[in-house]
Structure 1
Amino acid sequence: MSVRNIRLFGDPVLRAPSAPIERIDDGVHALVRDLLDTVEPPGRAGVAAPQIGVGLRAFSYNVDGVIGYILNPVLVETAGEPVPTGEGCLSIPGVWHDALRHPYARVVGIDLDGDELVLEGEGLMAQALQHETDHLDGMLFVSRLPADARREAMRQIRESDWF
């Protein structure tokens, strides 16, 4: 168990769709422990497996003091008109913009026992569910920005000290 380093914008693992987890083995158990440890520090609402270099469909979340995980999540429902929502990403440090997000989201996946797990929520939870499932599809939040905001975000990335 450990807090893993976060992969940064430009790392190919962040742009590749993640593979489904086909067998829950010791490696998947270790992945979940690492995801939970990595999402625990303050200021982290979610961590997707690709952000720690693993191309599998899994993420952890830390919303309103509740920490958890889901395997093979599928975004099955969103509701409400998308609204501009302030958003950042651990993989793009220091960049913060309004992305369009639905105020409600629901994902369905499984837990480590293979049992169905449903996560749903409004506000930050809805945003986290949408953001993390985007990661698993190889999409970063800057791709959801309007053209002018995307240009500004890319400028900020190019000028950052980490890029």
Structure 2
Amino acid sequence: MSDPALLLYPDPRLRLVAAPVEHFDDELEGSVRDLEAVMRAVSALGLTLPHIGRLQRVVILRMEPGDPITRYVNPEIVWASPEFAPQTEGSVSMPGIMDVVERAVAVRVRYRDLSGAVHEEAAEGFRAACLQHEIDQLDGIFWIERLSRLRRDRAIKRFAKLRRAEG
């Protein structure tokens, strides 16, 4: 495998649906190690294999630097609260841009670990929003798709301006 590189918006691969992981093997563990290296390099809270161009359903999450990384293979939201709350979101694939997205305040996620064992996790608040954000990415939904058309267009224009300013 080549060195992993973070995809940046508007890379079309960020809009592709990731395939379920079927083999819990050394190749999967290697992909997750690559993803964790990119996570540390870009200081992300959460990241998916599609963020580095590998279309498999894997999310990693670390809420604070120094916290252990949680690995979610084939995660799915099996319950979401009917209550929604605003959360400020952004993406390392669109650095410098943040906006407010409405997310369910609590979720229950079923996933597998790297050995294939099934787990469930209940999350609320910011962690629930992070899980929803990353699972959206696995489904080919880049976070700005959750914004109104006007706010999405503004975010895209701001990002284009930032990219031009970087030269």
Instruction: Report the TM-score, using the length of structure 1 for normalisation.
Output: 0.89
What is the aligned counterpart of 2:111 among 109, 112, 121?
Answer: 109
Contact residue 35 and residue 59 of structure 1 kept, 8 A: no
Question: Helix, strand or coil for the counterpart of 1:31?
Answer: helix
Distance in 2, matches of 1:154 and 1:9, equals: 9
Q: Which amino acid aligns with 1:22?
A: E
Q: Aligned residues, how many?
A: 162
1:87-146 deviations in whole A, cap 9, x for unaligned?
111111111000111111221111111100223311221111001000000011100012
Instruction: Report the TM-score, using the length of structure 2 for normalisation.
Output: 0.87
What is the aligned counterpart of 1:158 among 148, 157, 160?
Answer: 160
Unaligned 5+ runs, structure 2: none
What residue is the counterpart of 2:48 in the other structure? 48
The alpha carbon displacement at 1:36 in A equals 2.6
Unaligned 5+ runs, structure 1: none
| 1:53/1:42 CA distance change after superposition, 3 Å | closer
Question: Helix, strand or coil for the counterpart of 1:97?
Answer: strand
| 1:89/1:145 CA distance change after superposition, 3 Å | same
- Give identity over the alignment, percent: 32
RMSD: 2.1
What residue is the counterpart of 1:91 in the other structure? 93
